[in-house]
Amino acid sequence: MDGVPRIDGERLWRSLMEMAAIGATPAGGCDRQALTDADRAGRDLFRRWCEEAGLAVTVDEMGCMMARRPGREDHLPPVAMGSHLDTQPTGGRFDGPLGVLAGLEVMRALNDAGLTTRRPLVLVNWTNEEGCRFAPAMLASGVFAGVFDRDWAWARTDAAGRRFGDELARIGYRGTVPCRARPWHCHFELHIEQGPILEREGKVIGVVTGAQGTRWYDAELRGRAAHAGTTPMDARRDALAGAAEAVLALERLARETEGAVATAGILEVVRGARNIVPGQVRLSVDLRHPDDGAADALEARFAAELAAIAARRGLEHAFTRIWAFPALRFDEGCIAAVRRAAEAEGLPWRAMVSGAGHDSCYVARVVPTAMIFVPCRDGLSHNEAEWCEPEHCAAGCRVLLRAVLEMAEDGA
């Protein structure tokens, strides 16, 4: 299938850099966390660009922005493209925005070519993919997929106790359109790999066949706050020393479990001070594995070690799973369309499973879905130094365009 419109890689790059300037950090990254003023500014810019491209933008009750391009047979279920504009606090410029702005470039390229696809197209900015301010991650795509209830999602609070629903209204993006599954024909997401495989193997395209399972936990250790100067070492119930042992146990157990990754990303001493033996500590745990049974076993091993550490140190403890999604496989037809697109572009590709979670992981529950990866330098992401070469951004966009066109023109 040729006569494929040309994408404008420089225009895509300019859009990426203009979006990256919103919430830009001194170290060259982005802090555009969900529902902050920076997120609002990024949304406003995205909306303007979509409207300039002739797309009709709607906002749903979870703040998801959906930009629609009519099709020749406009009643048909649309082909969707999506990703997210929100970032981590020390995020990069590509994690999320690449998928959203490459989708915009697809729309712009079709406009330049005067081409109207058979099916309508929809471009989505999914709200709160990262989950760093409002846990869990992928909150809006989870509501869309029926995994989370809208009111439960609206009630999620950030560290300052602000409610998701209130913040969404505050930035002016709490729409009225129901956030629920739609009869889309399919959904594609372009994303940086956020890992080292493509770069290490010299591949440009990842044909993403699925994603590993992810689980998030809250752990808490309670000992006894005491005077740092007068409390003998053998009379202490030090919650932070216990947490330190737990973090090292988590790392050791994950290293011992083939295919596992586990991270303690947040460690908080509650009302700590330099001269108080820590009495209460909170710890976050992120555990992932391509096989759900292996993840269950690792979870059980860590829970047992945490209990043993607490018992040995005279600490009370709690270990609660707050979120989980299982390993999943994407739609075979969409995977094949991505593979054909990479081959048609003559790009070196490989099939792979995503180590990160993405909105596509939830959308895939209700719409046939697949993802496209491109390399990022040193496999680095969730870091301000995150980088994706302009030619890789353009290559990923070309593959996205071809996959979308194939599905938007198919007779099925």
Note whether 280 and 255 are within 8 A (CB).
no
Question: Of 29, 63, 96, 103, which lies in the binding site for Mn ion, with binding defined by CB under 5 A?
Answer: 96
Number of residues in contact with Mn ion, rule: CB under 5 A?
A: 2
Smallest separation (angstroms) from Mn ion to the CB of 130:
5
Nearer to ligand HGY, 340 or 365 (CB): 365
* Residue 230: closest CA among 279, 275, 271, 269: 275
Sign of CA dihedral 313, 318, 323, 328: positive
Smallest separation (angstroms) from ligand HGY to the CB of 326:
14
Smallest separation (angstroms) from ligand HGY to the CB of 357:
4
* Residue 84: closest CA among 59, 65, 109, 57: 65
Smallest separation (angstroms) from ligand HGY to the CB of 356:
4
DSSP per position, 53-64:
TTPEEEEBTT--
Q: How far is CA 332 from CA 82, 300, 366, 398, in A?
A: 19, 33, 14, 20
* Residue 393: closest CA among 15, 50, 12, 126: 12
Nearer to ligand HGY, 89 or 272 (CB): 89
Nearer to ligand HGY, 15 or 381 (CB): 381
96 binds, among Mn ion, ligand HGY, none (CB under 5 to 8 A by kind): Mn ion
Helices 239-256 and 292-313: crossing angle, nearest 10°?
Answer: 150
Smallest separation (angstroms) from Mn ion to the CB of 118:
30
Tokens of 284: 């976050």
Nearer to ligand HGY, 131 or 278 (CB): 131
| Spatial separation of the C-alpha atoms in residues 109 and 115, rounded to whole Å | 9
> What are the respective helix, strand and coil percentages of the chain, to the nearest 5?
35, 25, 40
Q: How far is CA 135 from CA 142, 210, 212, in A?
A: 12, 22, 19
Q: Please state whether 35 falls in left (phi above 0), alpha (psi between -120 and 50) or beta.
A: left
Smallest separation (angstroms) from Mn ion to the CB of 84:
6
Interacting positions 343-372 with Mn ion (CB under 5 A) = none
Q: Which stretch binds Mn ion (CB under 5 A): 22-30, 95-103, 120-128, 221-229?
A: 95-103
Distance of CA 312 to the CA centre of its chain: 38
Nearer to ligand HGY, 137 or 249 (CB): 137
Smallest separation (angstroms) from ligand HGY to the CB of 83:
11
Nearer to ligand HGY, 33 or 280 (CB): 33
71 binds, among Mn ion, ligand HGY, none (CB under 5 to 8 A by kind): none
Nearer to ligand HGY, 115 or 385 (CB): 385
Smallest separation (angstroms) from ligand HGY to the CB of 262:
13
Task: Read off the DSSP letter of residue 364.
Answer: T
Nearer to ligand HGY, 356 or 405 (CB): 356
Sign of CA dihedral 240, 242, 243, 244: positive
Note whether 233 and 375 are within 8 A (CB).
no
137 binds, among ligand HGY, Mn ion, none (CB under 5 to 8 A by kind): ligand HGY
For the chain, give me the number of helices (H) and strands (E)? 12, 16
Q: Binding to Mn ion by residue 95, rule CB under 5 A?
A: yes
Smallest separation (angstroms) from ligand HGY to the CB of 362:
11
Nearer to ligand HGY, 20 or 356 (CB): 356
357 binds, among Mn ion, ligand HGY, none (CB under 5 to 8 A by kind): ligand HGY
384 binds, among Mn ion, ligand HGY, none (CB under 5 to 8 A by kind): none
Residues that bind ligand HGY (CB under 6 A): 129-131, 137, 356-357
Interacting positions 185-204 with Mn ion (CB under 5 A) = none
- Point out which residues bind Mn ion (CB under 5 A): 95-96
